[in-house]
Amino acid sequence: MTTITIPNNFASNEELIAIPRTEYENLLNVKYKREVDNEILEALDDIKNGRVIGPFSTLSDGLSALKSAK
């Protein structure tokens, strides 16, 4: 069993939780997935409510539309 020493000033005024790295990475992935899912839902809502522009015939037309969009 590994033993570590954590200085008092490191964890002062905060709760300290130690978990395996793989569990920490899994938690980060869940948080990231939730953020991406929310962005996708927002984009789908924009499409459903007609808040879209395009399609464009040329790249120049698309860039002009993006610059003038608010």
* Res. 44 pLDDT band, cuts 50 70 90: very high
Residue 29: the pLDDT is: 85
SS3 of 6, please?
Answer: coil
Residue 10: the pLDDT is: 75
**Positive or negative: CA dihedral 28, 33, 35, 36:** positive
**pTM, two decimal places:** 0.46
For 8, 26, 30, the CA distances from 38, given in Å and listed in that order, are: 39, 18, 12
**Is residue 70 over pLDDT 70?**
no
